[in-house]
Amino acid sequence: MQTIDTLIFPRWIVPVEPEGTVLEGIALAIDQGRILDLLPADVAPLRYAARQSLQLPTHCLLPGLVNAHTHLAMNLLRGFADDLPLMRWLQEHIWPTEARWVSESFVHDGTQLAAAELIRGGVTCVNDMYFFPDVSARALAAAGLRASIGMIVIEFPSAWATDAEDYLAKGLVLRESLRHDPLLSFCFAPHAPYTVSAATLTRIRALADELDAPIHMHVHETAGEITQFEQAHGCRPLQQLDRLGLLSPALMAVHMTQLDDAEIARLADTGVSVVHCPESNLKLASGFCPTARLDAAGVNVALGTDGAASNNDLDMFSEMRSAALLAKAVANDASAVPAHQALRMATLNGARAIGLGAQTGSLVPGKWADVIAVDLGDLESQPLFNPISQIVYASGRHQVSDVWVGGRQLLRHRELTTLDREMLLARAEHWRTQIATAH
Ligand SMILES: CSC[C@H]1O[C@@H](n2cnc3c(O)ncnc32)[C@H](O)[C@@H]1O
Ligand SMILES: [Zn+2]
């Protein structure tokens, strides 16, 4: 008999690997932060003495969701500028507001507010890109979330850094100081081809090669951005990235709504991951990412929400459903992106894109115990033929009852264990008053 930390007895387990698998009568054993075993529920108590044992008779256990593209502190700008196209939204509203308000305390409070929303929505890992990444990294680790932190670069000054060299230097110092935290990993995060010069991208590519770090970037978000880039540089942004040597398995190209067949083939050949943000793309009318064609070509497609100022939430359940529905409409094919594929995009594919595919994203022994429980016991989930279909097409984030990251429970019966709800409400109201009064 082996003493372990936790045994969970759910009704179902959807491990995501192998894809489409639904297990019944199986218990999940967790020890020292990692998944130790999946074994028959009647055998588990004979083999393991658990310090904590949990019966979840109407629940499905899943790997925690991976939100592969966020700007978390922008939670404080939720609903601030709606119903605008990307460039007017950014240039006339968001960038001036960020220039006025973004500070250490803005990023701290916005990221904490986002962390609470993520945990309550079953997200256990994020890939974030925002100013003051030192503050967001510490806030996310303190909340207990797993995070890939962007060492951001943009060719204009902000409260965080003065120029590209300063952004890079500060990012590298941050990575060096926190890279041994088991919850944190670091990637380069040049904002976009239209805001970061070729010289800076060349430098980032060399650094990324040297440090074996991923690169997280907005690419081909809108048709207008491509036309403008062609006028200025005589080629499409993706061609430019290819010439600079950035197309590789290290690259997470976010949005990708404008892609021809040759570009899809090139992404597949070079191993680039695409991060699809269906709801942000719909709200800003940015275009449609051809996810079914990308998947068929062998491209790893992950899912992200983008920031709460363009989405306007961090709900990965809704994002999975939107991704599955939109893919069918775009491909004119009802079989495009079935439920199990949407779930893989929101879990394992996200983990792979970030470079954490061996550590999280599926319920496999040896991986971190990043696990969520979804309650499928209520009327809205009946009758239940297939839990994966129910989760993707008919469930909401309010059904997430419990969340663990690295075996630590961050949500218990929908109560946050690491964040103070009243304090978060007070800080959100503080920022709303400040920003609204000045506006
Ligand atoms: C350098 S920090 C990130 C920077 O990106 C801005 N941003 C937020 N959403 C989007 C988007 O959909 N496309 C391009 N840029 C975006 C954010 O406001 C920050 O300035
Ligand atoms: Zn974005």
CATH number for the domain that contains residue 205: 3.20.20.140
H-type helices in 121-197, by residue range? 133-143, 164-178
For residue 231, is it left (φ>0), alpha (ψ between -120 and 50) or beta? Answer: alpha
Same domain, 203 and 112: yes
Atom of ligand 1 nearest to the CA of 284: 12
Same domain, 7 and 77: no
The answer as to whether 413 is a domain residue is no
Mean pLDDT along residues 73-83? 98
Q: Is residue 148 within 8 Å of residue 126, measured between CB atoms?
A: yes
The answer as to whether 422 is a domain residue is no
pLDDT one-digit tens code per residue, 254-302: 999 999 999 999 999 999 999 999 999 999 999 999 999 999 999 999 9
Give the pair of three-digit tokens for residue 63: 């790997």
Domain with 35 in it: 2-63+369-406
pLDDT on residue 439: 76
The answer as to whether 429 is a domain residue is no
Overall residue count recorded for the chain in this entry: 439
CA-wise closest residue to 315 among 10, 136, 78, 11: 78
How far, in Å, from the CA of 407 to the mean position of ligand 1?
A: 32
pLDDT at 46 over 80: yes
How far, in Å, from the CA of 111 to the mean position of ligand 1?
A: 15
Atom of ligand 1 nearest to the CA of 94: 18
pLDDT one-digit tens code per residue, 374-415: 999 999 999 999 999 999 999 999 999 999 999 999 999 999
pLDDT on residue 438: 84
- The CA-atom distances, in angstroms, between 356 and each of 106, 123, 143 are 29, 15, 19
| Residue closest by Cα to atom 20 of ligand 1 | 95
Same domain, 76 and 223: yes
Rg of the chain's alpha carbons, rounded to an integer? 21
**ipTM > 0.95 for the complex:** yes
pLDDT one-digit tens code per residue, 202-221: 999 999 999 999 999 999 99
167 lines ligand 1 (CB under 6 A): no
Q: Binding-site residues, please?
A: 69, 71, 98, 191, 218, 221, 306
DSSP character for 425? H
Q: Is residue 61 within 8 Å of residue 363, measured between CB atoms?
A: yes
With a CB cutoff of 8 Å and minimum separation 6, the contacts of 74 are 110, 130, 307, 308, 309, 310
191 lines ligand 1 (CB under 6 A): yes
The answer as to whether 326 is a domain residue is yes
Q: Is residue 372 within 8 Å of residue 122, measured between CB atoms?
A: yes
**Where is the domain boundary, 354, 384, 418?**
354
The answer as to whether 419 is a domain residue is no
Same domain, 273 and 350: yes
Mean pLDDT along residues 36-43? 98
Same domain, 176 and 48: no
Same domain, 13 and 145: no
The answer as to whether 59 is a domain residue is yes
Amino acid at 351: A
| Cα separation, 211 vs 183, whole angstroms | 18
pLDDT on residue 261: 97
DSSP character for 368? B
310 lines ligand 1 (CB under 6 A): yes
Q: What is the number of structural domains in the chain?
A: 2
Phi, psi for residue 389 in degrees, rounded to 5: -60, -45
The neighbouring-strand residues paired with 150 are: 187
Mutate to test the pocket of ligand 1, among 131, 218, 226 (most ligand atoms within 8 A of CB): 218
| Residue closest by Cα to atom 12 of ligand 1 | 306
| Residue closest by Cα to atom 13 of ligand 1 | 218
Atom of ligand 1 nearest to the CA of 154: 1
69 lines ligand 1 (CB under 6 A): no
CB atoms inside a 10 Å sphere around CB 40: 12
Same domain, 39 and 128: no
Same domain, 97 and 206: yes
Atom of ligand 1 nearest to the CA of 277: 12
| Residue closest by Cα to atom 14 of ligand 1 | 218
Give the pair of three-digit tokens for residue 325: 């529905």
89 lines ligand 1 (CB under 6 A): no
102 lines ligand 1 (CB under 6 A): no
Mutate to test the pocket of ligand 1, among 75, 90, 129 (most ligand atoms within 8 A of CB): 90
| Cα separation, 44 vs 54, whole angstroms | 12
Place of tokens 């529905």: 325
Where does the pLDDT of residue 117 fall: very low under 50, low under 70, confident under 90, or very high at 90 and above?
very high
Where does the pLDDT of residue 111 fall: very low under 50, low under 70, confident under 90, or very high at 90 and above?
very high
Mutate to test the pocket of ligand 1, among 70, 71, 126, 135 (most ligand atoms within 8 A of CB): 71
Q: Is residue 341 within 8 Å of residue 367, measured between CB atoms?
A: no
pLDDT on residue 391: 98
The answer as to whether 251 is a domain residue is yes
Same domain, 24 and 107: no
CATH number for the domain that contains residue 10: 2.30.40.10
| Cα separation, 298 vs 319, whole angstroms | 21
Give the pair of three-digit tokens for residue 319: 């994002």
Same domain, 119 and 18: no
| Residue closest by Cα to atom 5 of ligand 1 | 191
The mean predicted confidence, pLDDT, of the chain is: 98
pLDDT at 161 over 90: yes
Q: Is residue 97 within 8 Å of residue 431, measured between CB atoms?
A: no
Mean pLDDT along residues 130-139? 98
Mean pLDDT along residues 4-20? 98
Pick the ligand that lies closest to the CA of residue 195: 1
Mutate to test the pocket of ligand 1, among 69, 74, 76, 94 (most ligand atoms within 8 A of CB): 94
Give the pair of three-digit tokens for residue 240: 């430019």
- The CA-atom distances, in angstroms, between 386 and each of 55, 233, 391, 395 are 21, 51, 9, 12
Atom of ligand 1 nearest to the CA of 189: 1
Same domain, 274 and 161: yes
pLDDT on residue 38: 98
The answer as to whether 438 is a domain residue is no
| Cα separation, 125 vs 404, whole angstroms | 11
Classified as helix, coil or strand, 285 is coil
Same domain, 54 and 88: no
CA-wise closest residue to 133 among 155, 164, 102: 102
pLDDT at 194 over 90: yes
Mean pLDDT along residues 318-322? 98
- Vertex 233 angle, CA 231 and 238, to 5°: 105
| Cα separation, 418 vs 155, whole angstroms | 36
pLDDT one-digit tens code per residue, 19-39: 999 999 999 999 999 999 999
Strand bridging mode 26-31 / 2-13: antiparallel
| Cα separation, 113 vs 111, whole angstroms | 5
pLDDT on residue 332: 97
With a CB cutoff of 8 Å and minimum separation 6, the contacts of 65 are 121, 122, 123, 124, 125, 316, 317, 346, 347, 350, 372
